[in-house]
Amino acid sequence: MNTPDLVRPSRAAIAAATVTVVLWASAFVGIRAAAPHFSPGSLALGRLLAGAVTLLIFLLVSRQGLPPRAAWPGIVVSGVIWFGVYMVALNWGEQLVDAGTAAMLVNVGPAVMALLAGWLLKEGFPPRLLAGIAVSFAGTIVVGFSMSRGGQASILGVVLCLVAAVTYAAGVVAQKPALKHATALQATTFGCVIGAVACLPFAGQLVADISEAPLTATLNVVYLGVFPTAIAFTTWAYALARTTAGKMGATTYAVPAVVVVMSWLILSEVPGWLTLAGGALCLAGVAVSRSHPKTSSPSPVVSR
């Protein structure tokens, strides 16, 4: 499927991106709620299995079949590092930091995405990109300091969330070329299946966790698989196929704000002011990295 990048995404693409933002925001809260009952690896595997089953049903109903051969390299890479490594790192990180802080740190991803595009796609490294990365890095230091409280656990949580940000960015860069050949549903379905296969070493732990976890926690894992994974990753891919990776990354700027509201309402969990300031600095750096300098129009020549 060849879908050119559009200067202005369609209303359908904007709606799809909005669905993604809301459902991904709910995932940060859901992961935090499931953390006491599931280990990072078993939570990732359970989520991916629920998502893969849902997506395979959608794929069979729509009769889309296997993606073309040209799409598989991007699907495999995104499946391993985005669906697999990203979810394990994020789950582990959210055992150590609150949902809002995790969302802020993961949203360094768009700046990393721009770096990877500059390197792999030969788009160069504009000064604003480098400045934005420096600002975001300063923000992560502030967040890490605010969360550390003299111990190592929260620092590890910050590092894990940054690993999640990098793998998220790399996954998007890998998935974008695949969407020139495969549909959003094909790319998402087989990326999710590959991620689940990569997480199979955690199968024993998943069985043990399900046997001990309350039913509500297990249903939460199913929710994470059906909505923030099967639906949200598909709507993301749909919108990504119709615009650039940079513009799609910009839509995730809203995720931390939505997460903070949801975690306050559902978990009674709000980051401290210093953490919020560091997170805002992270997002400001991302915004700077994606901004464009204003071009000054030439002064009009006045006839005398």
In a domain, 65, yes or no: yes
Cβ contacts of 66 within 8 Å, gap of 6 or more: 186, 190
Flag whether 114 is in a domain: yes
pTM of the model: 0.80
Asked if 39 and 205 touch (Cβ cutoff 8 Å), the reply is yes
DSSP state of 214: -
Total tally of structural domains belonging to the chain: 1
**pLDDT of amino acid 257:** 62
User: Is 296 within a domain?
Assistant: no
Write out the two tokens for 267.
């978990």
Q: Is residue 281 part of a domain?
A: yes
Q: Specify the long-range contacts of residues 199-208, CB closer than 8 Å, at least 24 apart.
A: 199/41, 199/44, 199/45, 199/48, 199/84, 199/87, 199/88, 200/45, 201/41, 202/39, 202/41, 202/42, 202/44, 202/45, 203/45, 205/39, 205/41, 205/42, 206/38, 206/41, 206/42, 206/45, 206/46, 208/42
Would residue 1 count as lying in a domain?
no
166-181 burial, b if ≥16 CB within 10 A, otherwise e? Answer: bbbbbbbbbbbbbbbb
For residue 303, being part of any structural domain is answered with no
Q: Which residues contact 90 (CB under 8 A, 6 or more apart)?
A: 31, 102, 106, 160, 161, 164
DSSP summary character for residue 7: S
What is the pLDDT, as a whole number, of residue 123?
58
**Within a domain: residue 295?**
no
Q: Per the structure block, which two tokens stand in for 217?
A: 């926690």
Distance separating alpha carbons of residues 63 and 84, to the nearest angstrom = 26
pLDDT number for residue 83: 96
Q: Consecutive 10-residue runs of the chain (304 residues): their mean pLDDT?
A: 48 84 88 93 98 97 94 96 96 85 77 72 68 76 64 74 91 90 96 97 98 96 97 92 67 66 74 77 73 55 40
- Lookup: tokens for 127: 């000064």
- Domain range spanning residue 35? 11-290
User: Structure tokens of 159?
Assistant: 């590092």
